[in-house]
Amino acid sequence: MIKIGIIGSTGYAGAVLTKLLINHPNVQIVFLASHSYANNKFNSVYGNFKNILEASCIDSEDAVENYLQKIDVLFTAMPSGKTFSIVQKAISKNVKVIDLGADYRLKSKATYEEWYRIDHPCSNLLSKAVYGLPEIAKMKIKASNLIANPGCYPTASSLALIPLLKYDLIEKNSIIIDAKSGVTGSGRKASIGNLYVECNESVKAYGVTTHRHTPEIEQTLSYVAKDNINLVFTPHLIPMDRGILSTCYGSLKKEITLNDVYSLYKEFYKNEPFIRILDELPETRWVKGSNYCDIGIRIDKRTNKIVILAAIDNLMKGAAGQAVQNMNIMYGLDEKTGLEIIPMFP
Amino acid sequence: MIKIGIIGSTGYAGAVLTKLLINHPNVQIVFLASHSYANNKFNSVYGNFKNILEASCIDSEDAVENYLQKIDVLFTAMPSGKTFSIVQKAISKNVKVIDLGADYRLKSKATYEEWYRIDHPCSNLLSKAVYGLPEIAKMKIKASNLIANPGCYPTASSLALIPLLKYDLIEKNSIIIDAKSGVTGSGRKASIGNLYVECNESVKAYGVTTHRHTPEIEQTLSYVAKDNINLVFTPHLIPMDRGILSTCYGSLKKEITLNDVYSLYKEFYKNEPFIRILDELPETRWVKGSNYCDIGIRIDKRTNKIVILAAIDNLMKGAAGQAVQNMNIMYGLDEKTGLEIIPMFP
Amino acid sequence: MIKIGIIGSTGYAGAVLTKLLINHPNVQIVFLASHSYANNKFNSVYGNFKNILEASCIDSEDAVENYLQKIDVLFTAMPSGKTFSIVQKAISKNVKVIDLGADYRLKSKATYEEWYRIDHPCSNLLSKAVYGLPEIAKMKIKASNLIANPGCYPTASSLALIPLLKYDLIEKNSIIIDAKSGVTGSGRKASIGNLYVECNESVKAYGVTTHRHTPEIEQTLSYVAKDNINLVFTPHLIPMDRGILSTCYGSLKKEITLNDVYSLYKEFYKNEPFIRILDELPETRWVKGSNYCDIGIRIDKRTNKIVILAAIDNLMKGAAGQAVQNMNIMYGLDEKTGLEIIPMFP
Amino acid sequence: MIKIGIIGSTGYAGAVLTKLLINHPNVQIVFLASHSYANNKFNSVYGNFKNILEASCIDSEDAVENYLQKIDVLFTAMPSGKTFSIVQKAISKNVKVIDLGADYRLKSKATYEEWYRIDHPCSNLLSKAVYGLPEIAKMKIKASNLIANPGCYPTASSLALIPLLKYDLIEKNSIIIDAKSGVTGSGRKASIGNLYVECNESVKAYGVTTHRHTPEIEQTLSYVAKDNINLVFTPHLIPMDRGILSTCYGSLKKEITLNDVYSLYKEFYKNEPFIRILDELPETRWVKGSNYCDIGIRIDKRTNKIVILAAIDNLMKGAAGQAVQNMNIMYGLDEKTGLEIIPMFP
């Protein structure tokens, strides 16, 4: 059994991760740590776990001081800038780390500091960390002991665009990503902006031209394209709990049929169990609760532009599900272990 | 392996049942039949099954004519009055039937015909059918080959009230049930009243004093109370997908402490794996996607009334989950088989 | 022109009140005061007022010290226990007060202190204050300079039940009120429980047997019945912005036809412009944005119980709309002035 | 008084139009016609009009045969292809027409027939019809007797982009419009796809590269740019009732500061009462129920692209509100008459 602990277990991603790991046949949960709910029963915070999980959350600092030696893998799901000393300690004690946060995703310390406006004291770890998008980094993930689990928007957007760049189908600087997310993406923080009444019955863009997931997507696409990619990324908040739809636009370099693009996508992702290439347009409801990324493609012949749409559950393939997938890969398990979940509809 | 078929597989309850049975370790699905979507791939109707289930729906009549001999259990999930000949044929061929509809729930042909305004031609089957509420009928279910799976409102309301009547705590004619349901309870029928815009941002009662689940609840409670019970039942439609909260009121016969009532409930349900007696008030979000029924209790000393609240997922414990639970019991399996699902939140 | 000021203008009720008073032909707004948003432009808090209202909020204390002499009417919309000194100062300066909060609704200081657990230092004002439910107190409202504007649940529930008690149709201690409210009823406070994700896709009861609106409803019904009424009141939170549906139950004293009850209700409310007695069951969507209270009635002959359902917009007839109605009455205006709003659907 | 009739009054746009015209000081409603609800009371279809509007709907054909001579203006709100003979008759009888549908928006018969796949028998009327976007066609509207009221997406998208093209700021073939609409945009038609459960908790794109509003937007922008514009338009359906957010992208021709762009927009729209140029990003909740179009602007220096966001209420500025604005202009009234509505929040 893989012994694991979670720091940041009472956020939305942490709660979904806890659920997945309870169900995982190869995992034993050693501790659930929380900053806000230390010493509270986990099921008093998330009532769905009543009669299922009777453990109390331990304090995050206590976890770091006294529990690291008892686990094989530490999952961290914390705000940006809060993981530095934790991850260093875990790595120094030979505990593998899967970080659901953003602190190890960007390879460039300067880029991190520019976009996050936080000093990064562990740049040595940046080079060690592997960006855990299994569809392009399976071997590296397997060999790593520090996984930077991709962000929710970057997962959907990168999976949509990678084959376009891999096969050099579009103008490199033509990419526009217009993404829509449910409200769980904002986290479980008491703020006016996240109130029911403020989010319900409205749609807005936010962080236009400034969202921190921009350089993360650019890093991935630049790596695939072997060239420097800049793009426009516009996230939107829409009134639903879960799901991201990423609508991605690019200018085709030359004429290509829709069939041919579909063939390339199917070829590229043929061994990826969580990618579903659809003839139809994807809808977030068809992936809810699962680790799938659904992808649909359209070509606009009139303008010679291509539109790729990708739908994920932001808490699954966009966070906790992908983290478990990464753990499975690290341990040589079938990457689907614990993740063969039929999406929930309705 | 238990070989099963579903007639009415493309309704909401049918789709959830299909999902549960795909995941069930002891079940093999032989056919999925549908009236509206015969010859369509099931996953063209429910996109969540893409890459998971490639079967096409067969026609319901075809299923009855040609497939009954290939299965052990037939699940029917059809509108009232549509199952009579189907169930008779199945029973005559020694196929067990679990009917998610209403045609075999009421023991009295007259009561059925009064409330449903449909002639019941199979009154012989009414006496054979077992009302499949496992918490009060496990032995009978095990011995039966025709299960009338309880309605969604009756499940939540009966589970809330049964101990009160069993222990004779309330005035028999004081019961008021005020229930709230998500919109999946209305089924997947194209009607103006079920449109997004008509249901969203509103709440209404419907079927006040006339809803067909009234005699079903009365039958169950009368059976438990060994006396004739009449009650008021008021269903409401609220803007959400899944879930029923049933708020039940009764006049206490004599003084009793809240602790004592809780003890009686815990005792009554101590062997029931899907009943969670909560100190807190139940919320439908904590049971979503699971087979749990959460129950909370309050006493109003000022008026000497008791309030019992029960929350279920109407498509699970209120339909498909309970149907699987009944099948498990019929086959001597652990009744939790295929149903150990942590509720989904968020 | 009636010169008015609002303290607590940036809560949801305050914002709706501000909108109504901007549109009111006889009103001039002198100040909008806010505790949380002092010195912020009102339209930076509520973007719907962009290009319409350029004023900044003043501080609440500043308003009390320096602005009372400039106004005729003060509206207060504050948390319980926060109005005592403000209202005393206003009254002492001959400023009329319409309080949308709860501090002057209960005539009994002891009842207030028991349910609100706040000492009430102004019991002298309790006797002066008029409970501003225009349908039963128009003359008193006209003569008063301190109006306790009724709570949202009490407005819907009292309007549903008053004729039953006036005409002595039900057993006095049989009343059960099961009410459902949208989330604006919880106010604009940053708390985990009010987050979009926590409220969406769920229903729950809260404050069962302990909600503070209980004694307020009892006070009104006792006044009408000329007898002491105790009742059960159960509020529920449902996932929508605006609206309350109050489903009220009582045991009929003797047989009466539904037609006769309807006739009594129509007679009782025949001069009330905001009461709509419907043959259909009320739905909150039909009153949204308006000052209407829609009422529907059903009798359950089998149990000899009567069900009265009332729907209001909790921010209008349940708060700001009723406050304006009260102001109109105080000033001898047509009570519909500024309130002839067709409900908004969709 | 302007005497008006509405054909198609019981759709969502028709109902909102009816509400606006009831409140309009210069209008007398002569008839409300409906195909589906002829001879039903309007308020039996839309319960919000109870006690306000007691008229019954007349049949659409009856309206055309017998009522045209009694009115000055006919509003039509019908499916594509259904207005041809109606509008011809009205025009021939000197009745002015404001068509909320799509049949007269495109100047080119060929383009109409290509995108709508309907033969257009009245191409003579296409040249007479004026595309009723007041911000660019006020004089023409005033002089016309046939107004093609713009579509919802085209209104938001065109208002966002027109100044960019007017001032020649972007590459003409770089435009991408990613728009998000609430479900009222799908109309009040009983279909599986519009059911509450199918739309709730999901987001999808639809009509990608094929939506009929594409040539309408292109026509407007080409007119302003005095050049042929092709663009990508992607509509999305999101789970809310009302509102459109149009996120528009273009490649800047040369460097320009955000301030300078804002100045140009403010200058361009300085006399337009319903355009609000915001420093903030627009949100649909701030325009709900009003005729406003809120516009926000951002420049992405890294990619030299500009993002213009526009929010409208699709049933107001995107349909009924704009229709009334057009009527006001046609009659020389202040264009704000009957439309000075503060947006409704919450």
Domains identified in chain A and CATH numbers: 2-128 (3.40.50.720), 152-314 (3.30.360.10)
Cβ of B286 and A184 within 8 Å? no
Q: What is the 8-class DSSP label of residue C48?
A: G
pLDDT of residue A267: 98
State the SS3 of B295-325: EEEEEECCCCEEEEEEEECCCHHHHHHHHHH
Dihedral, C260, C261, C265, C267 alpha carbons, nearest 10: 20
| Residues of A with a known catalytic role | 152
Report how far apart, in Å, the C-alpha atoms of A227 and of each of A131, A161, A166, A218, D253 are. 18, 14, 11, 10, 24
Which ranges in C167-257 belong to alpha helices (H)?
Answer: 196-199, 213-225
**Confidence tier at D77 by pLDDT (50, 70, 90):** very high
Give the gap in angstroms from C-alpha B44 to the nearest C-alpha of chain D. 13
Beta strands B204-205; B232-237: pairing state: antiparallel
- Shortest CA distance from C21: residue in chain D: D342
Residue D12: its chain C contacts at CB < 8 A?
A: 346
By C-alpha distance, which of C341, C278, C322, C338 is closest to C138?
Answer: C322
- Shortest CA distance from D177: residue in chain A: A178
pLDDT of residue C35: 93
Give residue for tokens 């000033």. Answer: C331
pLDDT of residue D42: 98
Report how far apart, in Å, the C-alpha atoms of C95 and of each of A97, C68, C98, C338, D303 are. 65, 7, 10, 21, 60
- Closest CB to B241: pick one of D12, D184, D201: D201
Kindly write down the DSSP assignment for every residue of C247-292, as one continuous string: EEEEEBSS---HHHHHHHHHHHTTT-TTEEE-SSPPBGGGTTTS--
Residue C277: its chain D contacts at CB < 8 A?
A: none
First to last CA, chain A: 34
Cβ of D283 and A204 within 8 Å? yes
Give the gap in angstroms from C-alpha B51 to the nearest C-alpha of chain D. 20
Taking the C-alpha atoms of residue D280 and residue D258, their distance in angstroms, rounded to an integer, is 13
Residue D307: its chain A contacts at CB < 8 A?
A: 205, 208-209, 232, 234
- List per-residue pLDDT tens for chain A, 346 residues long: 999 999 999 999 999 999 999 999 999 999 999 999 999 999 999 999 999 999 999 999 999 999 999 999 999 999 999 999 999 999 999 999 999 999 999 999 999 999 999 999 988 999 999 999 999 999 999 999 999 999 999 999 999 999 999 999 999 999 999 999 999 999 999 999 999 999 999 999 999 999 999 999 999 999 999 999 999 999 999 999 999 999 999 999 999 999 999 999 999 999 999 999 999 999 999 999 999 999 999 999 999 999 999 999 999 999 999 999 999 999 999 999 999 999 999 9
Beta strands C204-205; C232-237: pairing state: antiparallel
Cβ of C276 and D50 within 8 Å? yes
H/E run at residue C33: strand C27-34
- Which residues, at least 6 apart from B117, have a Cβ–Cβ distance to it below 8 Å? none
Kindly write down the DSSP assignment for every residue of C323-337, as one continuous string: HHHHHHHHTTS-TTT
Cβ of D346 and C50 within 8 Å? no
| Percent of chain C residues topping a pLDDT of 70 | 100
pLDDT of residue B248: 98
| Residues of C with a known catalytic role | 152
Cβ of C283 and B346 within 8 Å? no
Residues of chain B short of pLDDT 70, as ranges, are: none
Beta bridge partners, B32, equal B6
- Shortest CA distance from B249: residue in chain C: C176
CB B8 within 8 A of CB B33: yes
pLDDT of residue C147: 98
Residue D23: its chain C contacts at CB < 8 A?
A: 342
Taking the C-alpha atoms of residue B124 and residue D298, their distance in angstroms, rounded to an integer, is 73
Taking the C-alpha atoms of residue C340 and residue C336, their distance in angstroms, rounded to an integer, is 6
- Closest CB to A188: pick one of C188, C195, C241: C195
Taking the C-alpha atoms of residue C346 and residue C241, their distance in angstroms, rounded to an integer, is 13
pLDDT, tens digit (0-9, with 9 covering 90-100), for B83-116: 999 999 999 999 999 999 999 999 999 999 999 9
- Closest CB to C190: pick one of A12, A195, A239: A195
Taking each helix axis from N to C terminus, what angle separates C134-143 and C213-225, rounded to the nearest 10 degrees? 90
By C-alpha distance, which of B47, B45, B49, B58 is closest to B11?
Answer: B45
CB A261 within 8 A of CB A307: no
pLDDT of residue B108: 97
Q: Tell me phi and psi for residue D197, to 5 degrees.
A: -70, -25
- Which residues, at least 6 apart from D211, have a Cβ–Cβ distance to it below 8 Å? D153, D233, D234, D235
User: Which of helix, strand or coil describes residue A64?
Assistant: helix
- Closest CB to B48: pick one of A22, A23, A342: A342
The two structure tokens encoding residue A90 = 């875990």
pLDDT of residue B21: 98
Taking the C-alpha atoms of residue D137 and residue B188, their distance in angstroms, rounded to an integer, is 45
Kindly write down the DSSP assignment for every residue of A253-296, as one continuous string: SS---HHHHHHHHHHHTTT-TTEEE-SSPPBGGGTTTS--EEEE
CB D179 within 8 A of CB D233: yes
Is D152 annotated as catalytic? yes
By C-alpha distance, which of D173, D176, D192, D315 is closest to D244?
Answer: D315
Averaged over D151-159, what is the pLDDT?
98
Distance of CA D226 to the CA centre of its chain: 23
Taking the C-alpha atoms of residue B111 and residue C258, their distance in angstroms, rounded to an integer, is 24
- Shortest CA distance from C12: residue in chain A: A197
By C-alpha distance, which of D63, D58, D19, D17 is closest to D41?
Answer: D58
pLDDT of residue D16: 98
Torsion sign across C-alpha atoms C28, C30, C34, C38? positive
Residue C243: its chain B contacts at CB < 8 A?
A: 201-203
Question: Around D339, how many Cα atoms within 13 Å sit in the side-chain half-sphere?
Answer: 28
- Shortest CA distance from C205: residue in chain B: B281
Mean pLDDT for chain D overall: 97
Averaged over C134-158, what is the pLDDT?
98
- Which residues, at least 6 apart from B221, have a Cβ–Cβ distance to it below 8 Å? B158, B161, B162, B165, B175, B229, B231
Cβ of D47 and C286 within 8 Å? yes
Taking the C-alpha atoms of residue A69 and residue A231, their distance in angstroms, rounded to an integer, is 43
Give the gap in angstroms from C-alpha A239 to the nearest C-alpha of chain D. 6
Beta bridge partners, B179, equal B235, B246
pLDDT of residue D102: 97
- Identity of the residue numbered B309: L
Cβ of A208 and D281 within 8 Å? yes
Give residue for tokens 């259990």. Answer: B73
Give the gap in angstroms from C-alpha D74 to the nearest C-alpha of chain C. 23
- Closest CB to B342: pick one of A49, A276, A343: A49
- Closest CB to A192: pick one of C183, C188, C198: C188
User: Which of helix, strand or coil describes residue A93?
Assistant: coil
Q: Tell me phi and psi for residue B271, to 5 degrees.
A: -100, 10
> Chains touching chain A at 3 or more Cβ pairs under 8 angstroms?
B, C, D
pLDDT, tens digit (0-9, with 9 covering 90-100), for C93-109: 999 999 999 999 999 99
pLDDT of residue D173: 92
Residue D37: its chain B contacts at CB < 8 A?
A: none
- Identity of the residue numbered C170: I
Give residue for tokens 């207060």. Answer: C76
